[in-house]
């Protein structure tokens, strides 16, 4: 390397010509300024490259975690469902198969409990032969609200599992499939006529006319009565099927019976259903339908449910049907304030042997059967298979 220095004649100062350096080997001219510029440029390039790699690494980590978390959530839901994988594979649907329509179904219309769930209408986007679904088929879907707890999700998945175990029957709402990835959903057949309770409210019942006008046409009254009894019989058939599958409904009521296009009755809302011969419910912080509950489920803080508890509720459904959707225990004589916070009053009323009064339009044999359903001791009540036999025999004579 050679350092070139210029000295002026007057020796006034010495100027070092930008410290010009010559490399004898490379014969390349370099200055200290250009050297620094290139070093800074190289450092910037290296920094940008490392930053890009770091950003890609972070993004890859986020994507990996998201996929891992989704898979973990998916398999956690499978474990909560507690059903054989073969059954789950039979019913599981792709997450993108449905399009939600802007038509939420009212909780009463759909017969569904909406404490932490929503029920809506959806359309199948493409044919899905595995579940015999055609494109544009309308289905009802039940899904969790955005704000829900882990316990809410477990209850929802338990209902999903009960649906899958129940199987298919003409008088229970059919399960189309389930979605576990993304937002979990229970996909069911859509019953266009809504719930039995609204049907009873809206229907112009000739029985009302007959009750107030004894001279009304007897033939028309009998047709109306036969139609009402047929609906009740279908409810009994649906419950016979569920009890045969060892499933307790625990919330049987007119609001939880749906009617399809042909007005066939179908048991719905398995939100409280459990697949056990006997089930004990811890009642703290749980709102229960007192007017439909059997005495043994009311007596202690731990309600004990069996098939015979559902039989009691069936008797209340019969009463709802013949009163065309009235609320039970709302007479001002015994319950002036309704049933709200009146558990003790209700229990005393039942323990004294008092029961709901069926209207005179109810056939005597049906009233006798309901009285059997409302026996204080659960072992004295008939099973659903016995109710079906009794109703079939009596209806054949109509």
Q: How many CB atoms lie within 10 A of CB 71?
A: 11
- Which of residues 64 and 286 earns the better pLDDT score? 286
Statement: residue 15 has pLDDT above 50: no
- Which of residues 361 and 63 earns the better pLDDT score? 361
Q: pLDDT tens digits, residue range 43-80?
A: 666 667 677 766 776 776 555 445 444 544 555 666 65
Residue 27 backbone zone (phi > 0: left; psi -120 to 50: alpha; other: beta): left
- Which of residues 201 and 386 earns the better pLDDT score? 386
Statement: residue 374 has pLDDT above 90: yes
Least confident of 85-89, 348-352, 357-361: 85-89
Cα(371)–Cα(362) distance, integer angstroms: 12
DSSP 212-251: H-TTS-HHHHHHHHHHHHHHHHHHHHHHHHHHHTT-B-S-
* Angle separating helix axes 384-395 and 364-373, nearest 10 degrees: 180
Cα(227)–Cα(172) distance, integer angstroms: 19
- Let me know: does 231 contact 322? Beta carbons within 8 Å: no
- Let me know: does 176 contact 139? Beta carbons within 8 Å: yes
Please provide residue 101's backbone torsions phi and psi, each rounded to the nearest 5 degrees: -95, 155
At 382, the pLDDT band (50, 70, 90 cuts) reads very high
Write out the catalytic residue numbers. 251
**DSSP strand pairing (98-104 vs 29-30):** unpaired
- Which of residues 26 and 297 earns the better pLDDT score? 297
């Amino acid at each position: 390397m050679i350092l070139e220095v210029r000295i002026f004649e007057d020796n006034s100062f010495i100027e070092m010509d930008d410290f010009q350096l010559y490399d004898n080997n490379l014969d390349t001219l370099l200055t200290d300024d250009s050297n620094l510029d290139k070093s800074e440029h190289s450092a910037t390039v290296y920094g940008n490259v490392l930053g890009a790699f770091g950003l890609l690494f972070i993004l890859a980590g986020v994507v990996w975690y998201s996929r891992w978390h989704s898979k973990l959530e998916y398999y956690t839901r499978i474990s909560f469902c507690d059903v054989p994988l073969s059954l789950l594979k039979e019913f599981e649907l792709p997450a993108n198969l449905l399009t939600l329509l802007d038509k939420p179904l009212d909780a009463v219309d759909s017969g569904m409990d909406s404490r932490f769930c929503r029920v809506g209408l959806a359309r199948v986007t493409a044919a899905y032969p595995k579940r015999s679904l055609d494109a544009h088929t309308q289905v009802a879907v039940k899904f969790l609200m955005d704000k829900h707890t882990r316990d809410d999700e477990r209850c929802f998945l338990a209902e999903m599992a009960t649906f899958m175990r129940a199987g298919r029957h003409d008088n229970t709402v059919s399960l189309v499939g389930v979605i576990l990835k993304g937002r979990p959903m229970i996909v069911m057949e859509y019953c266009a006529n809504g719930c039995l309770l609204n049907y009873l409210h809206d229907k112009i019942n000739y029985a009302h006319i007959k009750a107030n006008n004894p001279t009304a046409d007897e033939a028309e009254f009998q047709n109306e009565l036969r139609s009402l009894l047929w609906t009740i019989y279908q409810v009994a058939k649906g419950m016979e099927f569920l009890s045969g599958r060892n499933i307790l409904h625990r919330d049987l009521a007119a609001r939880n019976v749906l009617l399809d296009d042909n007005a066939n009755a179908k048991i719905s809302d398995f939100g409280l259903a459990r697949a056990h011969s006997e089930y004990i419910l811890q009642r703290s912080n749980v709102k229960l339908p007192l007017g439909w509950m059997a005495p043994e489920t009311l007596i202690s803080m731990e309600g004990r449910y069996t098939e015979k508890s559902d039989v009691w509720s069936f008797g209340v459904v019969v009463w709802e049907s013949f009163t065309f959707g009235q609320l039970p225990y709302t007479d001002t004589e015994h319950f002036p304030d309704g049933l709200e916070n009146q558990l003790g009053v209700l229990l005393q009323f039942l323990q004294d042997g008092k029961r709901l009064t069926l209207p005179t339009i109810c056939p005597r044999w049906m009233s006798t059967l309901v009285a059997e359903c409302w026996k204080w001791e659960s072992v004295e009540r008939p099973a659903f298979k016995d109710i079906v036999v009794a109703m079939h025999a009596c209806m054949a004579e109509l």
